[in-house]
Amino acid sequence: MWDSVGKIDNKTWFVAHSLGCVTILRLLAQLTVNEMPAGIILVSGFNETLPIWRQHGLSEMDTFIYPPLEMGQIVNGVKHRYVIGSLNDTIVPTELTLKLSQQLNAPFYALPDLGHFLGDDGINELPLVLQLLI
């Protein structure tokens, strides 16, 4: 993963979606406060077992969320933290995305009727992400 990411500095931003949010948070948890990026934007993020995993017998997915992450270092090191969720997400319940924003002490943007932010949901752009980056 580190080879894909490259050098992280105070101008680096990560934008992640769904399972990618947990992946990025696990990566950041390995860094010191001084090595953290400038910001993160997490879309439909979560940090615990999804109900859909249980419904479909996907217990192996729990390897992405266990052991639990300690968010303190990320909160202290990443200056700009934003979490975006959809009020009708059928994959990641809005409550789990809200909970992640609270764990990160990050503003939560609850957007109506965008599903899981997929092309199948009619979502090909998310202007809010660009607004937060600028």
Residues 48-75: pLDDT tens digits? Answer: 988 888 888 888 888 888 888 989 999 9
pLDDT at 1: 59
**Confidence class for position 2, pLDDT limits 50, 70, 90:** low
* pLDDT tens digits for range 88-111: 999 999 999 999 999 999 999 999
pLDDT at 57: 85
pLDDT at 39: 98
* pLDDT tens digits for range 110-127: 999 999 999 998 899 999
Q: Which residues are tagged catalytic?
A: 18, 89, 116
Mean pLDDT of 40-45: 98
CB 39 within 8 A of CB 80: yes
Its pTM stands at 0.93
Q: What is the CATH number of domain 13-132?
A: 3.40.50.1820
CA distances from 44 to 34, 75, 91, 131 (A): 27, 18, 9, 17
